[in-house]
Amino acid sequence: MTQLIPYLTIPGRTREALDFYKTCFGGEILALMTFGDMDPNAGDMANAVMHSHFKSDGVEIMISEGTSDDDSRPNSSVSLSLMMDDVAEQERIFNALSQGGSVRMPLNDVPWGARYGEVSDPFGIRWLLNCQNDGG
């Protein structure tokens, strides 16, 4: 079995992001390790999140603070697409993700027979929410 799990870099705000996504999606934090857990000489990075794993029903991501040599614009070329089948749930999640972020495209019916919208969350992660219409 092969599975793709997005791995996000959110410098200095990983714990905040985990709490935010837990509020948006429910679910739980399966793992959280700091640099200090792995290296007692981690210095300033000792409490920074080296690795975390979040999972809810339908959403699974991993997040790290990153390191000082990581790109200065983390996640800038990645979008996360949520394929949904419940319009009410789509709207709830869209509104939750946009709190403290920005709506890039409001939820609306689109030509490919879906209800679609885009939002950037408070951590700069771009979410694409697509809910296929039932044909009506």
Q: What is the pLDDT of residues 97-121, one digit of tens each?
A: 999 999 999 999 999 899 999 999 9
What CATH code is assigned to 7-64? 3.30.720.100
Print burial letters for 85-97: b (CB count within 10 Å at least 16), e (below 16).
eeeeebbebbebb
Work out the burial of residue 40: count CB atoms within 10 Å of its CB; fewer than 13 is exposed, 13-18 middle, 19 or more buried.
Answer: exposed
Taking the model in full, what pTM does it have? 0.86
- How does the average pLDDT of the chain come out, rounded? 90
SS3 122: coil
**Residues of CATH 3.30.720.110 domain(s) within the chain?**
79-132
| Across 41-59, average pLDDT | 94
Which residue from 125, 129, 128, 132 is spatially nearest to 20, judged by alpha carbons?
Answer: 125
Q: What is the pLDDT of residues 64-101, one digit of tens each?
A: 998 766 655 556 668 899 999 999 999 999 999 999 99
**Residues of CATH 3.30.720.100 domain(s) within the chain?**
7-64
CA distances from 43 to 9, 37, 39 (A): 20, 12, 9
**Amino acid at site 119:** V
CATH class (in words) of the domain with range 79-132:
alpha beta
Would you say 94 and 119 are in contact if contact means Cβ atoms under 8 Å apart? yes
Paired tokens of 59: 């959403």
